[in-house]
Amino acid sequence: MCCIVGALALAQAPDPKRVAAAEEALTRAREALATSYESLEAELKTGGERVKSLLLAELRPVADNWRNATAPQVIKLLGEGRKKLLSLARHDDRNLAELAAWMAQRFNGLVQEKGAALAKESTEDLCGMLLSPLLDSRAFHERWNAELAPLLPSAEVWRKATLDLEGLREAAEVAKDPSRTFRRGAPAGFARIPAGTYSTIFSGGFSGQGVRKKDRPFVLGHDLFLGVDEVTQAEYLAWILSLSEEERRLHQPRDDSGKPRWEAAEGTGVLALVPGSEKLPVTGITLASAIAFANANGARLPTEEEWCAAASGKERFAYPWGARYDKGRCNDRDGGLGALAPVGSFAGARGPFGHNDLAGNASEWTLTLESGKVLEPGAEPQENVVVRGGSFKNSGADVTTGWVWLKRAVGDRDTETGFRLLIDPAAKAR
């Protein structure tokens, strides 16, 4: 089964039969949940007064002792009342037995609230207080959602139907979009790159002093979590605003001329985005700024190998979606918008594990140096750094999973290059 799911996810193509079967199973689960709820509602509505009658019979002898007790004895007798309620767990009536522990807990609350004065309450009033969720005038769904659902062991059928429904709802979503498989167990906003054998692909670009490097296999020993989307301007601005004034100037995105891209809003003096740009990938930042943001968020940037694993999968796709270029499928020069697009706008460009915009939109910083070494935490590299993915300005041939761009690790920034985060559960953030 796992192999089938993996193949479907890599193909990025939903199977109509699988979708239909998942939808049918989901419909059956909804019907089962409705049936179990209606059954419980009927049982508890008719059983509430019966339970009250049984409880009155059980508590009346105990309550009579309260009435005749001296004040010092009352608290002790109230404790015996709690024991009596707990003993009802062995009662022949299932509802009364199931409610025993809950009623004892409610009784404790009443004792704490009223103290010895509780002994002055009539047995009928005491039973009413204990059973109010069963007997009050609220609509049944309000009582159920507020108190009853987690209370009764007899609601186990309903609880199981609820869990089944959630599982089948997720299965239906995965059937429609197989890549969702890789979001299971991943932090919010991330998708899993499964452990396994991959290849770093080199199809062209500015690498190896004009000599094309050979593709090389590598092994990911454990799962990694890569951001589904490139980091957005809104996310980056939220971090910028948490910094000191000096750090803000250091990490502020800049245009190609070096001018800060964000200005203080009139009247507030606080940096603000151009309306409508919130979901655009943040660009115009240095590698150091990208690393600082990642560290602040408990993550790091991907290496070139990790980026290639996410972009080309185990099948070594030439493009994130497969072997051939499809004009208009990603935000590149040949078929895109001619400018940055909100992250995830080109659904057809998703990678084999569901990551968006691995081709086009913004090219992306990695932690791998031109020499092939990985930049160590805190180190200041003296060589170029690999940038992958291509941007909205690049042709379809230049946004393959194997095209390599190089930028200076110190100082370079442009309005085409952004980044995404990676979480390695087996290592600290770089």
Q: Is the pLDDT of residue 127 over 60?
A: yes
Which pLDDT score, from 0 to 100, does residue 143 have?
65
Structure tokens of 9?
């996810």
State which amino acid sits at residue 295: N
Which pLDDT score, from 0 to 100, does residue 4 have?
34
Q: Give me the mean pLDDT over the 44-65 stretch.
A: 75
pLDDT tens-digit profile of 69-82? 766 677 677 777 77
Which pLDDT score, from 0 to 100, does residue 75 have?
67
Q: What is the pTM of this model?
A: 0.66
Catalogue the E-assigned strands of 23-175: none
State which amino acid sits at residue 41: E
| CB count in 10 Å sphere of residue 426 | 8
Within its chain, how far is the Cα of 146 from the centroid? 26
Q: Is the pLDDT of residue 211 over 90?
A: no
**In 288-313, which positions are buried (b, 16+ CB within 10 angstroms) versus exposed (e)?**
ebbbbbbeeeebbbbbbbbbbbbbbb
Which pLDDT score, from 0 to 100, does residue 322 have?
93
Q: Where are the domains of the chain?
A: 16-158, 185-423
Q: Is the pLDDT of residue 11 over 50?
A: no
Mean pLDDT (the chain, rounded): 83
Instruction: Check the CA dihedral 90-95-98-102 and report its sign.
Output: negative
Helices (H) and strands (E) in the chain, counts: 12, 12
Q: Any idea which architecture 185-423 has in CATH?
A: Alpha-Beta Complex (3.90)
Q: Is the pLDDT of residue 89 over 60?
A: yes
Which pLDDT score, from 0 to 100, does residue 151 have?
66
Which pLDDT score, from 0 to 100, does residue 9 have?
40
